[in-house]
Amino acid sequence: MGQALILETTFLVDLERESIRGEVGPALRFLEEHADRELCVTLTTAGEMACGPGRDEKSVWSTHMVRFRLLTPDPSAAWTSGQTYRYLKHNGLSIGAKDLWIAATAIVHGLPLVTRSADHFRRVPGLKVMSY
């Protein structure tokens, strides 16, 4: 099996839209090209997906999320998030708090982050970013 990937919220939203529409778009093509990879999501991304439309039933959310390994934050991610925040703020490159947690979790696990918002996440030093 190839190296695992962390899927960011924009990717999951696109993947879900493509599935609902029954079309093969960029997200599904990316998964086909990386079929040997383990797919992970962060706790933050899972929470963001729970906020989406049609998520008033936990079973709908669970059905969508069960495909992915859930990576939870730990003290190393907390430290990395804080240090990354300081760096980005000092350099006028700030990103949102949830995105900081997603990026920090990816850095701590040493895994690339798959996102539609590649330019946004490329501000984070040490983060491997993949777009689709």
Report how far residue 25's alpha carbon sits from residue 62's, in angstroms, rounded to the nearest whole number.
23
Q: How many CB atoms lie within 10 A of CB 18?
A: 17
pLDDT digits 0-9 by tens, 83-122: 999 999 999 999 999 999 999 999 999 999 999 999 999 9
| Contact status, residue 106 vs residue 127, Cβ threshold 8 Å | yes
pTM over 0.85: yes
Domains and CATH numbers, the chain: 2-130 (3.40.50.1010)
37 to 1, 21, 30, 59, 74: CA distances (angstroms): 6, 25, 11, 26, 23
Among the listed residues 79, 72, 89, the one whose alpha carbon sits nearest the alpha carbon of residue 124: 89
pLDDT digits 0-9 by tens, 16-42: 999 889 999 999 999 999 999 999 999
